[in-house]
Structure formats: structure tokens, C-alpha cells
Amino acid sequence: MKNKLKALWAEGKPALNGWCSIGNPFTAEIMAAQGYDSVTVDWQHGAIGYADMQAMLQSMRASGVTLMARVPWLDPAAVMKALDAGAMGIVCPMINSRAEAERFVSYMRYPPHGQRSFGPTRAGFAMPGYGPQMNDEVLALAMIETQGGVDNLEDIASTPGLDGIYVGPADLTLGTQGGRLPPGFDRQEPEMIDLIKRIAQVCKANGIKACLHCGTPDYAAQAVGWGYDLTTVGGDSRLLAAAASASVKRFRDLTGAGADGNEGAY
């Protein structure tokens, strides 16, 4: 099975990634049907366990989008089980050194290019013939989120077998600014914009992909202009909250009814 993200990038096009934090196959199926190029299941911070993640990957299979997972940590068991469940890409948090990036890459691929154990329980059914040829299709995306990661950025980006760097702006801000700035997406501070741009430049210099988690389509489009190859915009929980909030606000504005429902004309 070919990784459609790689084909998209080969055409020089940026990718739009969806994000699932709600542990529910139906929610995931809805997200995957909206036209994203890829969808990532957040096993790290999402309200999601392994069984939830596998069911979500199953529910999204028919959409044809590239399915990925963010694992909880740099743990070989988590990385390999997510791949065995059918993820075509892994986002791994808190990669702070070249040695950690090398370990991550080794967990992603079968020998002789890594130490991944063979046993694609679900992937083997979803992708008949699944085996070592998938070494060239799965994507290893390392998250840079700390000052240590920034200090070792060039070494990390030059790790053989690493496909890209995924920037989490909230932790990157917390990790590099000494707590003086609040966490959040779509950074506007000049120092953070410079850092986000620098990461993209280092990725380009090393022939790997730059990925950024964003809060709005406008910021994501701006990031593409900075050289980012994949942007995530919001996610299921935030999109649900935003749509519900907008709907409630519109109703209140039109009717004059307050939150307790006792205001306005009858």
C-alpha cells in the first residue's frame, strides 16, 4: 500500500491533516470524510486508549486518507503496536536528541533498517501483503517541543530515516520561553515565529518534511508560505466546541434569550 502523503508531497503540494482526540469511531469516521489528506489519532493527549485507536483506524479506512497516530512517548511497544494497528505514520513526542531520533526511526522499520518486530495483526488484513516493503511507506515524524530539541535541531533533522519534524507550538513555547508565555497555537510573538520558521528551514536543508499544528486555516496557510509541508488545523474536540458555541451564540443573538432561557420577548 502506497502512502498518499508521499505522493502528494512528490507533486509539491502541502498536506492538510485532521486531528482526533475523542475516542470514538463514529467521530473519527466523520472527520475522515471531510476531505483531509491525512488524519492523526492522538493517543498521547486524546481521550483514547489502544482499543479506541484501533477501532478509529478501522472506521476511517474507507475514506482513503492517510491514517497516522501520535504515540504517548518514545516507547517501542507503542510505536510498533500503532503501526500494527494500521497507522501509516507515527508522530512521536519529545524527541530531544539525535540518539532519541535514531531510536524512534529504528522502531519504525523492519530489519535490516530497524528493529521493528513483525506481527502486523490488523495491518496485515487491512493491507494484504504487508511486510518489510512498508519500510519505505511509513512516516516517522519527530516532535520538537523543548529547548533541548531546539539545541539539537540540526542533529535531529539529519537523522537517517527520519521523514519529518512535527512542531507542537504549545509545548515548544513552554519549553523554550521559560514559562513567560502561555501555551497555545498560532504564535504571534516574533521570537516564536522566528523559531517556527527556522525549524522549517532546517527541515528543508536536510530533505525532510516540516509539519506544524495550527489553530486556524489562516495561520496554516501562512505556515505553508514559510515552508511547512503539512499543517494540522484544530481537531475534533475544538471544532465541535467551536461549531456548538457559534450555533448557541447565533441563537441567543437572534432571540435575545439568555443562557437561562428567561430573557427576551415571548
| Catalytic center residues | 45
Nearest Cα to Cα of residue 99 among 142, 44, 70, 60: 142
Q: How far is CA 158 from CA 153, 209, 244, in A?
A: 9, 12, 44
Which grid coordinates belong to 266? Answer: 415571548
CA distance 199 to 195: 6
What is each CA distance from 131 to 60, 84, 117, 123, 128, in whole angstroms? 22, 11, 11, 9, 9
Helices (H) and strands (E) counted in the chain, each on its own, are 12, 8
CA dihedral 52, 162, 186, 48 (to 10 degrees): 10
* Distance between CA atoms of residues 251 and 245, nearest Å: 10
CA distance 204 to 213: 18
Q: Hey, what amino acid is at 8?
A: L
